[in-house]
């Protein structure tokens, strides 16, 4: 999209955004170093080799989590804004612990990523509660953090069979704006194996779904795709190994 963007990994202790992005060997300084003044933002931010305007700020792997202070996070975010970043993505750890609080605290938008599984949906509901109450916007009485729902590992075929909650069910339960569903795809695992985000393979359905989501987030009106199972012919039903079985092998 060309926006100057930085992704901050807030999962202190379990650093992994750099692994997924394939830049783990270039990590020298991390978020905690910056907060403690041991390194500058410029030193710590790793420039992505594939995209001109994308930077990654890795989490620390060894230090204790209390080093992640609210004032520290605020100074980092202010510094990034001053450095001209248009989008600052805070990658929150799962759960409702300190790291997640810090990741959400200064947010304007929150993308709640969940799969259609009971525990994930319930946890998402908890996180939505925190987003309404425990953020800078909530505490200052400003407009609430704008929440968006992103469903991952969605399998329309299993929804049709009644084995998986449908996207409509999840929307009903959580009651927030739906951004899209990412179809279950074996390529997602392969991508993280290789350290190349799946979105770089435009032939893949999951990548196309992610791209759609990005466009929708930027305000473009894109029709939903990948929500219905493709129709299977008679012979496919009799003998076919469909995508579905290969998904099961991954899932």
Partner 1 sequence: MAWLDYFRRPVSGAASANVAKNRLSIIVAREGRSRSQLNYLPQLRQELLQVLAKYEKIDLDQVSVNVESQGGCDVLELNVILSEPGSVRRRGESSRHSPFFSEAPQESSRW
What residue ranges bind partner 1 (CB under 8 A)?
A: 86, 108-109, 117-118, 121-122, 125-126, 128-129, 132-133, 143, 146, 148, 159, 161-166, 169, 172-175, 177, 217-219, 237-241
User: Nearer to partner 1 by C-beta: 135 or 204?
Assistant: 135
User: Nearer to partner 1 by C-beta: 104 or 121?
Assistant: 121
Least spacing, CB of residue 131 vs partner 1, in Å: 9
Residue 173 in contact with residue 121, Cβ under 8 Å? yes
Least spacing, CB of residue 203 vs partner 1, in Å: 27
Main-chain phi, psi angles of 135, to 5 degrees: -120, 165
Least spacing, CB of residue 234 vs partner 1, in Å: 9
Residue 144 in contact with residue 109, Cβ under 8 Å? no
User: Nearer to partner 1 by C-beta: 97 or 132?
Assistant: 132
Cα dist from 195 to 22, 23, 112, 180, whole Å? 4, 8, 23, 24
Least spacing, CB of residue 4 vs partner 1, in Å: 12
Provide, for the chain, the percentages of residues in helix, strand and coil under a 3-state DSSP scheme, each rounded to the nearest 5.
45, 15, 40
Least spacing, CB of residue 165 vs partner 1, in Å: 5
CA distance 73 to 5: 17
The per-residue DSSP string of 122-133 comes to HHHHHHHHHHHH
User: Nearer to partner 1 by C-beta: 101 or 146?
Assistant: 146
User: Nearer to partner 1 by C-beta: 20 or 131?
Assistant: 131
């Amino acid at each position: 999209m060309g926006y100057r963007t930085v992704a901050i990994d807030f999962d202190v202790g379990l650093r992994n955004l750099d692994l997924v992005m394939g830049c783990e060997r270039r990590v020298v300084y991390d978020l905690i170093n910056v907060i403690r003044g041991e390194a500058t933002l410029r030193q710590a931010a790793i420039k992505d080799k594939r995209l001109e305007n994308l930077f990654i700020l890795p989490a620390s792997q060894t230090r204790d989590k209390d080093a992640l202070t609210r004032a520290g996070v605020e100074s980092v975010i202010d510094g990034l804004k001053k450095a001209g970043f248009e989008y600052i993505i805070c990658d929150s750890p799962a759960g409702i612990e300190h790291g997640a609080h810090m990741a959400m605290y200064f947010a304007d938008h929150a993308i709640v990523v969940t799969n259609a599984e009971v525990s994930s949906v319930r946890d998402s509901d908890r996180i939505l509660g925190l987003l309404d109450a425990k953020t800078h916007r909530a505490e200052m009485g400003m407009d609430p953090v704008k929440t968006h729902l992103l469903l991952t590992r969605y399998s329309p075929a299993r929804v049709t069979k009644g084995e998986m909650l449908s996207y409509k069910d999840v929307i009903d339960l959580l009651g927030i704006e739906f951004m899209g569903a990412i179809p279950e795809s074996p390529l997602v695992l392969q991508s993280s194996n290789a350290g190349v985000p799946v979105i770089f393979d435009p032939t893949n359905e999951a990548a196309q779904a992610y791209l759609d989501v990005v466009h929708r987030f930027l305000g473009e009106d894109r029709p939903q795709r990948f929500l219905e199972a493709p129709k299977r012919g008679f012979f496919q039903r009799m003998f076919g190994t469909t995508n579905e079985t290969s998904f099961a092998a991954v899932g």
